[in-house]
A and B are shown apart, each in its own frame.
Chain A
């Protein structure tokens, strides 16, 4: 009874925070000059240009996904299962592009490959060709691949932990590691790879800042233009509606390809550690290759960013001009991550346990909200919560937290569902038979056993909340902007050194909790 009530409450929170604003926007999109009308949707279908933009977006998303998988899966295997040198440092470095607004990464690549960039100091001809190539489909693919490959890498590493080492060991008796990885391990982690593909595809499909900077026309531009140039919210929502269709299609594909769906996985039996693959004579060359890839994908643009920020006073100015927004960013991201971790735990539990009918719909809803442009959710939140009776929410940072919950619940619920799959059902059943009711056994048995995964979900929520712009810029209370918003508002005429310094500070904001946590876990491990 309590279990059902709590899970229904969690779903209700998701509906209020996420579905209600979107539904409000949808209703608005059916209103043209005070009358019910489908005109906003019809105009989408009529315009031939929309189909071209859709094709562009699909091409960009598909190519980015394919490349991110091609790089991210082997990287995840190398960093997660082998004795590759410097693998922990490399795992952190490869994650860094995910922490910065993608637009900044595009600007950094321009600094490297543009006509006045670092490459031009080596070869002007090469720089000219590189610049021409950057401003087009493949340039966009390069930038988005470097941003979203960490998603694939991290999920591969997580899902590799689900593989029962006995299965690999059985294969090793008959074949070498390459065959075992290809024929046994990767098919077993296929649901995780598919989840990564879904997330990268949706993120790339919905990306706007990078294609606009690199002058590649994509589908989300229509929704954005309706907001920014026409102030037509109804048309803007209608323009975002195809996201629902795309998400449904992607979801259907995911479920068709993986029988159980990507959420239900079983980790290796407790206490069984996966064996580390010894690379032997390939250790050094693969290590060098990973370092080279890191340099190409991550270090080059980030070094450009850091190099630009290395001016006297840039960091002092950064803290002076944005110190307050930095503190707020960390506060809101930490609070948001905590809310998301709790909600994600409950939704993930519901999805993993199939505890309520309709769990697939809830699962789809969280992913759909994740894929939706933040501006649609933001304007929806304004229309719902900007009333005198609810001003205590709208006029405070609580509205930002609501936005985070709406947009990112899918991240924590999917990570949590995956981690909860680690726990054999007998753990909770034993607690039940010992006399514990649901809240007690979830709090004292399930959650503690899953604690590392819950921390991972918290960190995932923290990273996404920290880097959020779409929601924050729409709803932040006056005078309470966050750091990514401050970076964007200062970008027009702030010095490049200041902007670069602010971005570096933002990266550190994201990395510091990771480092602290890593040290804390290491200390607790040693203490025991």
Chain B
């Protein structure tokens, strides 16, 4: 008994020591990341290798799986632990700005990014975007080409969409509200539901359901589709609403935010510069997420359409963020909550 106790105490002491003994780096930066870890982690490792600054990251999950990075940032507002927030869409960055958690930061690498994808006060800057696209089963004949196809009786019960309370789907719906006005947008949503559109928990799940043949199409992020295509799943990607009179596809850039009161401001600015560089955009274009560079002239692989080649939705992200808050009660009811 005494020997067993001694072994246990010794082991526990060892564990405590191991847990405590992480060597403090000379320089470090703490980044909270909402971009998928699979894609963001290699970029952060490259930053570490290039600068010697140790990166400590908090990664996020898909929105519907758990609470995560945004909630931590908001909860930690009075004593920030994070230096930088890497948002996977600018709406979250806007929310942080509205809550007074973002600080202005002017990076020289932001110069080449179009103003449409930056906060005028410099509280967030967009880079490496996804497009909101239609993932379509390869066997689907005469596939849909517009988000309005969600209301087309031809596709009754064959469409699925991620829960509009979370993530980029919320942003998309809020964007439609700003473009069309409340009445038309609500009507669209109601008719979409009446046309038998099902809800999934996430864009990834939507893509999987289409790949599995449960549904014919879904509105998801472009990286979800490219990912499934590279896995050899039977899906294709369609950029919706590209005709002259149509709204265009929504562009969802990543956004980087300097946290107000960041514990390591100098390292934070270096990381922001790194993330906003053309080289990072090139890497993210060639990665499985296949994201669209916002800087002009960045090399891209064949499956990534350059931004100049797309008809994009003309929206103001700040307005979309505000609208998103307004329509939450409607969305709750629509989603059945």
Contacts and interface: CB of A to CB of B under 8 A. Distances in A.
Interface of A: 49, 53, 103, 114-116, 131, 209, 212-213, 215, 217, 221-222, 224-225, 227-231, 233, 328, 331-332, 334-335, 338, 375, 378-379, 382-383, 386-388, 391, 394-397, 448, 451, 469-470, 473-474, 476-481, 485, 488-495
Given A116-B212, A231-B74, A386 B63 contact: no
A228 B166 contact: yes
A115 B212 contact: yes
Contacts of B67: 224, 227-228, 375, 378-379, 473-474
B139 interface: no
Given A228-B63, A492-B36, A386 B337 contact: no
A469 B68 CA distance: 11
15 contacts: A49-B333, A212-B64, A217-B337, A227-B71, A231-B74, A233-B71, A331-B15, A386-B78, A387-B79, A473-B67, A478-B32, A479-B56, A488-B65, A493-B36, A493-B39
Contacts of B58: 476, 478-479, 481
Contact of B337 (A225, A476, A477): A225
Given A331-B15, A335-B16, 15 more contacts: A212-B64, A212-B65, A221-B337, A231-B71, A338-B12, A378-B67, A394-B81, A473-B67, A476-B58, A478-B57, A478-B82, A481-B58, A488-B66, A492-B62, A493-B223
Interface of B: 1, 8, 11-12, 15-16, 18-20, 22, 30-32, 36-39, 55-68, 70-72, 74-76, 78-79, 81-82, 95, 99, 165-166, 170, 198-202, 204-205, 212-214, 223-224, 227, 231, 288-289, 328, 332-333, 336-337
A150 to B, nearest CB: 23
Given A476-B58, A478-B82, A490-B38, A228 B64 contact: yes
A114 B81 CA distance: 43
A479 B55 CA distance: 8
B196 to A, nearest CB: 14
Contact of A53 (B63, B70, B214, B337): B337
B240 to A, nearest CB: 22
A451 B5 CA distance: 11
Which of A473, A474, A485 has the most chain B CB atoms closer than 10 A to its own CB?
A473
A442 B30 CA distance: 46
A112 to B, nearest CB: 13
Contact of B75 (A233, A476, A492, A493): A233
A493 B228 CA distance: 9
B214 A115 contact: yes
Contacts of A478: 30-32, 56-58, 81-82
Nearest to B205: A213
A492 B204 contact: yes
A209 B63 CA distance: 11
Contacts of B337: 49, 53, 217, 221-222, 225
Which of B36, B60, B65, B95 has the most chain A CB atoms closer than 10 A to its own CB?
B65
A495 B71 contact: no
Given A331-B18, A386-B75, A493-B227, A229 B328 contact: yes
A492 B66 CA distance: 12
A316 to B, nearest CB: 16
Contacts of A378: 67
Contacts of A493: 36, 38-39, 204, 223-224, 227, 288-289
Contact of A334 (B12, B20, B31, B328): B12
B19 to A, nearest CB: 5
A351 B228 CA distance: 54
A332 B16 CA distance: 9
A328 B21 CA distance: 12
Q: State the main secondary structure of chain A at its contact with B.
A: helix
A489 B61 contact: yes
B100 to A, nearest CB: 13
B70 A231 contact: yes
Contacts of B199: 215
Contacts of A391: 79
B65 A209 contact: yes
A225 B61 contact: no
Nearest to A496: B231
A228 B70 CA distance: 8
A379 B30 contact: no
Contact of B57 (A230, A473, A479): A479
Which of A227, A470, A478 has the most chain B CB atoms closer than 10 A to its own CB?
A478
Top 3 closest pairs, chain A to chain B, by CB: A479-B56, A478-B56, A489-B59
Given A227-B67, A478-B30, A492 B19 contact: no
Nearest to A375: B67
Nearest to A394: B81
B96 to A, nearest CB: 10
B63 to A, nearest CB: 6
B75 A379 contact: yes
Which of B59, B63, B76, B199 has the most chain A CB atoms closer than 10 A to its own CB?
B59
B157 to A, nearest CB: 13
A470 B66 contact: yes
Given A225-B332, A492-B204, A116 B165 contact: no
B231 A495 contact: yes
A228 B71 contact: yes
A489 B66 CA distance: 10
Given A227-B67, A473-B67, A335 B81 contact: no
Which of B74, B200, B224 has the most chain A CB atoms closer than 10 A to its own CB?
B74
Contacts of A451: 1
A494 B201 contact: no
A294 B36 CA distance: 36
Which of B39, B56, B63, B75 has the most chain A CB atoms closer than 10 A to its own CB?
B75
Nearest to B200: A215
Nearest to B68: A473
B36 A382 contact: no
A362 B298 CA distance: 62
Nearest to A212: B201
A396 B20 contact: yes
Nearest to A43: B329
A335 B19 contact: yes
Nearest to B83: A478
B61 A473 contact: yes
B202 A114 contact: no
A451 B4 CA distance: 11
Contacts of B11: 334
Contacts of B227: 493
Nearest to B228: A493
A378 B59 CA distance: 16
A488 B61 CA distance: 6
